[in-house]
A = this chain, B = another copy of it.
Amino acid sequence: MIQPLVPRLAIIGAGLIGSSLARAAREKHLAGTLVVADADPAVCERVRQLGFADVVTQDAGEAAEGSDIVVVAVPVGASGKVAEVVGPRLKPGAILSDVGSVKGFVVEAMAPHVPAHAHLIPAHPVAGTEFSGPDAGFATLFENRWCIVTPPEGADPQAVARIVGLWRAAGANVETMSAQHHDLVLAITSHVPHLIAYNIVGTAAHLEETLTSEVIKFSAGGFRDFTRIASSDPTMWRDVFLTNRDAVLEMLGRFTEDLTALQRAIRYGDGDVLFEHFARTRAIRRSIIEQGQETAAPDFGRRAAEKPKHEDS
């Protein structure tokens, strides 16, 4: 029998990310024993029904006991509390990791609870959907997506290699960087985009009631795509903004300055400024498609599937 990558793997939190990692580990036989813990008894029951874990428990400490790798997959704001429970139960050489969208705060919150005989190696798989909970996960979520590992200074290289290996085995491409740099990059690629999506959907909701119903009706003009992002888990995103405040405010400041410039061009009818800006942003899209982080299918494939059978040529 082939030795599994991780003899005992514990995943704390069975939401979208935790349950997807569990499914990937299950499907690819990455763990000798796969333990999933969730504080919510209803979630535990559902995980048992879905059957993607060997052991299911409400007790994070019990899950951590004897585990080689413990991955905390809870909203960032709860990571310190979980580490407090899990830390004392970590065996010598065990690795505590996470999947949080903010890394500086997570290190601050978790590090004090990690005993000297264990390792803290945070990670962030940059993948997801707008759905939450154990039913939302799927085994291929991380395939060809990036996972950013942020080893603290002086981290044990072997421990880093094991976390990198786990995510590669789950299908992800792995990059390492500092927690601080991660938080700056994610502020612009993820946190500010989510905030402005939440914001414009909120603006539409504040309109007079008849107008709001028309916004829903005619949402295919662009608004619809924002509502998808703006339906992501509220607890997770509240925590992101509270814990990555400085980088988000910095990037939000740049966003607002740029928007003011476009607004000014609209007010004064400066078509050249608008055209030049709009033409430039196309190049960035092209790069993303070239790097395989997106397909070129129009309209997110909503129509693409129907296209070939109706095409003229």
Contacts and interface: CB of A to CB of B under 8 A. Distances in A.
Contacts of A200: 188, 192-193, 196, 255
B255 A185 contact: no
A194 B211 contact: no
A86 B168 CA distance: 61
B49 A199 contact: no
B284 A205 contact: yes
Contact of A219 (B77, B189, B221): B189
B218 A278 contact: no
A5 interface: no
Contacts of A285: 130, 201, 227-228, 230-231
Interface stretch (A55-63, A91-99, A136-144, A151-159): A136-144
A200 B284 CA distance: 11
B216 A284 contact: yes
A300 B301 contact: yes
Interface stretch (A37-45, A66-74, A108-116, A243-251): A243-251
A231 B287 CA distance: 12
Contacts of A295: 302
A87 to B, nearest CB: 25
Interface in A178-203: 184-186, 188-203
Given A222-B229, A227-B281, 6 more contacts: A185-B211, A186-B218, A188-B207, A193-B222, A219-B294, A242-B269
> Which 6 A-B pairs rank lowest in CB-CB distance, beginning with the nearest?
A190-B221, A300-B300, A129-B298, A234-B278, A231-B285, A193-B222
